Amino acid sequence: MTTELEGRDKWRWIFEAGWRGLCPHCGEGRMFRRWLKVSDRCEACGLDYDFAAPDDGPAFFSLCFIAFPLLFLVVWFEVAMNPPWWAHLLVSAPLMIVPCLAALHPIKGWLVASQYVNQAQEAGTGALWAGLNARAKRDAEGRTPYATAAEAAPVAPAAPVAVPSALSAPASDALAERADG
């Protein structure tokens, strides 16, 4: 469904699929298996969610667009009313925490849908992500990344760092002169 989307339809689809937590490919399956845990694959169309890497994006957007503006209300509450500390616990804390937490799910859905529709990834990292995802699947299945131990590349020990004699001699002479003097 997402291959023919252009312009406004594309952005509307990203917003709708992300907000509702629907599969960005078919719009039928669920994107999340728990509150913020992205499913392994869509139960309707089989889309593999290995591409989904919103990382800290949901928290960043929640803080920038929700917590920061609400902070002005909390400061106004303090300056205008001068309430006791317990009033801030009852009013300010829930005012800041509840909207930020409530927005994490739709923001994460929006970011995952946006990554899928726009085929987003960092430039030049396609092969790296494919390798990392393959390694994670092997680890989850209990297989080692190498068929035999001989295939593993040996790790060379770090070479000791030698101090050039030209640098060490004047320093030792200066120390000897201080000790004598």
pLDDT of 137-172, one tens digit each? Answer: 777 777 655 544 444 445 444 444 444 444 445 555
Query: Does 99 reside within a domain?
Result: yes
In a domain, 82, yes or no: yes
180 pLDDT above the threshold of 80: no
For residue 107, what are the domain limits? 2-122
User: Does residue 158 belong to any structural domain of this protein?
Assistant: no
Residue 36: closest CA among 105, 132, 119: 105
> Does residue 152 belong to any structural domain of this protein?
no
The rounded distance, in Å, linking the Cα atoms of 78 and 72 is 10
pLDDT the model gives residue 144: 56
Residue 149 lies in a domain: no
> What are the tens digits of pLDDT across the range 51-93?
888 889 999 999 999 999 999 999 999 999 999 999 999 999 9
Res. 41: pLDDT tops 70: yes
Output the CA–CA distances (angstroms, integers) from residue 49 to 31, 100, 113, 116, 133, in the order listed: 8, 25, 10, 9, 11
Total structural domains within the chain: 1
User: Would 129 be classed as within a structural domain?
Assistant: no
Instruction: Report yes or no on 17 lying in a domain.
Output: yes
Q: Is the dihedral of CA 161, 164, 165, 167 positive or negative?
A: negative
Confidence at residue 166, expressed as pLDDT on a 0 to 100 scale: 45
Domain membership of residue 65 (yes or no) is yes
